[in-house]
Amino acid sequence: MNYIDSSAVVDSSAVVGLFSVIEKEVKIGKNVVIGNRVTVHEGTVIEDDTTVADGAVLGKPPKPAKTSTVKLADSIPALKIGEGVTIGSNCVVYRGATIGANTLIADLASVRENVEIGNYCIVGRGVTVENYVTIGDRTKIQSNSYITAYTTLEEQVFIAPCVTTTNDNFMGRTEERFDKIKGAHVKKGARVGGASIILPGITIAEETFVAAGALVTKDTEVKTVIKGVPAKFVRLVDERELL
């Protein structure tokens, strides 16, 4: 048995699995496949040819903790999922996010409110994308990486597994921190190696190559390879590797 609110618009070609809930004013397009035990919250828009795997929660309303620094607007727009998107099992995608066409959000990933993800992106298994993040077209984020709030990843960025971005140099103490919270800005074509850590407010320049395990403590230069703790210049990126 499913529950589909009478105000929801579900195209006749869509398939909805068992024990799923589709709330009021949801719009589901042509050839959409909804798995078992999926919850689609109020107002969510799912465009044509999208697949949602078992157990996913779409359009979840955000509710920060009382001690959270996150400030919510009075009105948060509904979740919008583009054409040809794949949402993995047990993903949670919040209200206020926008997912571009042909993007994959893999199993167990979490995407918060006020997030914009472009077209043909990959958000890997177990990835967390916090609020106020922008991700450009054809960017890939591999398994278990953490994309902190107020981060920008431009087009064709590559984030390897277990990368950590940070946004608060004060680690939760002093009032001064509220005006200085800022994530990384990773520019077009940059690549960040596995288990690297990027400190708050760092700019990773275009086509930078950050080696695995690096600790990035300062802005990088275009087309450079950096590595180490802290990360330092090693050489220029081979011309054959550039976009």
Q: Give the residue among 106, 114, 108 at the shortest CA–CA distance from 64.
A: 114
Neighbouring CB atoms inside 10 A of 52's CB total 28
For 21-35, give one letter per residue: b (16+ CB within 10 A) or e: bbbeebbbbeebbbb
Degrees to nearest 5, angle at CA 137 with 134 and 139: 80
Half-sphere exposure of 107 (CA within 13 A, CB side): 3
243 residues of the chain, pLDDT tens digit each: 899 999 999 999 999 999 999 999 999 999 999 999 999 999 999 999 999 999 999 999 998 777 776 667 678 999 999 999 999 999 999 999 999 999 999 999 999 999 999 999 999 999 999 999 999 999 999 999 999 999 999 999 999 999 999 999 877 787 777 777 899 999 999 999 999 999 999 999 999 999 999 999 999 999 999 999 999 999 999 999 999
d(CA 189, CA 178): 30
pLDDT at 64: 75
The pair of three-digit structure tokens given for residue 237, joined into one six-digit string: 């990126």
* pTM summary value: 0.94
Residue 40 DSSP code:
E
What domains can you pick out in the chain, each with its CATH number? 1-61+74-129 (2.160.10.10), 134-170+177-243 (2.160.10.10)
CB within 8 Å of 190: residues ≥ 6 apart: 154, 157, 158, 204, 205, 206, 207, 208, 209, 210
Residue with tokens 């958000």: 123
Region of residue 185 (left: phi > 0; alpha: psi -120 to 50; beta: else): beta
